[in-house]
């Protein structure tokens, strides 16, 4: 969960717990799918969870590209399903991060994968 002091975002979970230089790796959980995944997970608990989660990033990436609002890449890693990988460039302000998370939520709030 990310919090900026005023708002709390429960829509992401870090895919990689250790920092990878300026890369932030995370999964986006659409509202209709949030109750399916434990927030403490380090990786999906079963194949079905991974199959569903891996389809979220490409759908959201398509929407980002179609709108032209941002470019964030995604990829799998080993047995981990697709996650977003964002390389941060300095200076990235809190306002920038808040906007990014708000935009992800706007574009992905109706995604549901069966």
Q: Is the pTM for the entire model greater than 0.85? A: no
What was the pLDDT predicted at 62?
A: 96
Residue pLDDT, tens place only, 26-67:
888 898 888 766 654 555 567 878 888 899 999 999 999 999
> Model confidence at 110, in pLDDT bands (50, 70, 90)?
very high
8, pLDDT greater than 90: no
Q: What is the dihedral of CA 88, 4, 69, 85, to 10 degrees?
A: 40
Query: Considering only 6-10, 11-15, 68-72, which range has the smallest mean pLDDT?
Result: 6-10
Residue 12 CA from chain centroid, whole number: 5
Residue pLDDT, tens place only, 74-97:
999 888 889 998 887 766 788 888
């Amino acid at each position: 969960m990310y919090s900026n002091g005023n708002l709390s975002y429960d829509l992401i979970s870090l895919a990689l717990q250790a920092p990878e230089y300026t890369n932030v790796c995370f999964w986006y959980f659409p509202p209709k799918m949030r109750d399916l995944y434990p927030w403490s997970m380090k990786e999906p608990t079963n194949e079905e969870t991974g199959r569903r989660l891996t389809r979220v990033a490409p759908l959201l990436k398509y929407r980002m590209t179609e709108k032209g609002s941002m470019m964030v890449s995604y990829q799998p890693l080993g047995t981990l399903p697709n996650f977003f990988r964002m390389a941060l460039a300095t200076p990235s302000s809190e306002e920038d991060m808040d906007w990014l998370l708000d935009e992800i939520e706007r574009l992905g709030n109706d995604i549901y994968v069966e």
